[in-house]
Amino acid sequence: MALQSRLFGGDAKLEAAAVSDPAHIVPGASGPHVGKIQLALIQLDRATITQDSSYGPATATAVAAFKQKRNILNTEGKIDNIVGKKTMAALDSEMFAREKGAAGAGGGGRRLGIVGDSSNPSSIIEDLLGKAGIPLPNPLPPGLHWGVDSFNPITPALFAAVLSKFGRVPEFWGRYITPTRSSVLQASEIAFLRATSPNTRLLLIHNPLGPGFFHDRVLNAEKKVVGFTVNVPKEFGKGLQAALNARVAAKTVLAAAGLGDLENVVVYMNIEPDQEFPRVGRVSKNFLVGWWNGMGPEFGGIYGNVSDSFQDAELKGQGRAAFIGDAYRDGLISLSSSFKPFLWGQQPHAARGVAVPQTYVPRPPPFVPNTVQIWQYGPATGDPARRQSQGASASVDLNLATQEAFDQMVFI
């Protein structure tokens, strides 16, 4: 019987593996068919592997784990690490069910067409990357993933604009979850992604609002900042409260879309320039420690400026930039955990533009190397009103993420 899932159907090597013992897929194999198996393991089992189309030790371990959970035994009654007929059947059956469920979430099982053309049965991805002839770019180096984040909601128009402008499907999409923010991730956005791009993951951003993550400023008679006052319990408490609010917000959003709990998901707290809620001051390490205590260091990410080009204005309490480098470094000293919480670094970069970098070169905070797991390389757009006036394609920022960060985004 032919394979049923869109992912596997029509692939000659996988079709053969489903019916022929000599055609089994074994460690050491490579090619697009292996990449499809890896993608299925990631989607179905949340396997922490890289989709590099190479059947190496990590993929072999993931295959064995998949078979162990489903009691798929070989002819000797043992679990092995090859993809044979029974394994291929299980992978195909589960992927088919997942794809069918995703299409159903879009309404009546019909995949969405280009906005304004409800008669078009093609998905947005198929239309723009297929019929429109947009070439697929060269794949990123193993372990890197490309995605976007947006103030605006994920809509058919915005999704189509991203594909048209950048020529590739976002592997992840960052959206706000804080209820009091003017643009918050909705269940309808998740349903849309399920129907059009079910492999795109969600990156959750919490905006604590206001100046809560700063030390209090000391002003002189001319209203100029002359210093800062530190209140450890107050600042720690605000960080802890931000974590509690973030957990509630994330659970509410995920539950509304039927996505379950926050297991293994990192939520990133937003500390960056903002038109709605200007941020001015010196970031408090005590606030960050409170945030990490409330979220757990492994799940309390930080999103903001890490480049020390922001440091002078931040130290003086001027401008609208919040430099988190020193606070992050000092907060780590106070943590009892040896884990370094993830940073999503937003910083100036000479090559800001639409080209997708083939190297990962974010600037880490001073004295804390190898901590930036997501790099927002550009183009940072302006305030929400200007974004709206410029059109959907101007309202996204571009990011590269490491495999570690990608593994802890939300599967839809």
Radius of gyration of the chain (CA): 23
Q: How far apart are CA 130 and CA 232, in angstroms?
A: 57
pLDDT at res. 359: 80
Q: Is 345 helix (H, G, I), strand (E, B) or coil?
A: strand
Nearest to 283 by CA among 247, 252, 314: 314
Whole-number mean pLDDT of the chain?
77
Asked if residue 399 belongs to a domain, the reply is: yes
Q: What is the CATH number of the domain that holds 27?
A: 1.10.101.10
In the predicted structure, residue 129 carries a pLDDT above the cut 70: no
Asked if residue 301 belongs to a domain, the reply is: yes
pLDDT at res. 134: 43
Using an 8 Å Cβ cutoff, are 172 and 401 in contact?
A: yes
Q: How far apart are CA 218 and CA 255, in angstroms?
A: 43
* Beta-sheet pairing, 172-176 with 201-206: parallel
Nearest to 342 by CA among 360, 365, 361, 323: 365
CA distances to 7, 41, 101, 178, 195 from 269, in Å: 35, 30, 32, 10, 28
In the predicted structure, residue 20 carries a pLDDT above the cut 90: yes
Asked if residue 70 belongs to a domain, the reply is: yes
Stronger pLDDT, 15 or 323, i.e. the higher one: 15
State whether 173 and 226 are in the same domain: yes
pLDDT at res. 100: 62
State whether 142 and 231 are in the same domain: yes
Q: Which residue has the tokens 């974004």?
A: 387
Choice among 15-19, 215-219, 253-257, 403-407 with the minimum mean pLDDT: 215-219
pLDDT at res. 86: 95
pLDDT at res. 133: 42
Choice among 20-29, 41-50, 261-270, 352-361 with the minimum mean pLDDT: 352-361
Using an 8 Å Cβ cutoff, are 409 and 265 in contact?
A: yes
pLDDT tens digits, 274-316: 544 445 567 788 889 999 988 888 899 998 877 665 556 555 5
Q: How far apart are CA 281 and CA 214, in angstroms?
A: 6
Of the residues 79, 104, 129, the one at which a domain ends: 104
Q: What share of the chain is helix, strand, coil (3-state, %, to 5)?
A: 40, 15, 45
The structure tokens listed for 221 are 């008679």
Q: Which helix (H) or strand (E) holds 36?
A: helix 32-45
Q: Which residue range(s) make up the domain with 38?
A: 12-104
pLDDT tens digits, 33-71: 998 898 788 778 877 777 778 999 999 999 999 999 999
In the predicted structure, residue 385 carries a pLDDT above the cut 50: no
Cis amide prior to 233 (ω within 30 degrees): no
pLDDT at res. 353: 53
What are 146's strand-pairing partners? 400
pLDDT tens digits, 314-340: 555 555 556 677 788 888 888 877 788
Amino acid at 171: E
pTM of the model as a whole: 0.66
In degrees rounded to 5, what are phi and psi of residue 85?
A: -60, -50
pLDDT at res. 211: 55
pLDDT at res. 354: 60
State whether 338 and 211 are in the same domain: yes
Number of domains in the chain: 2
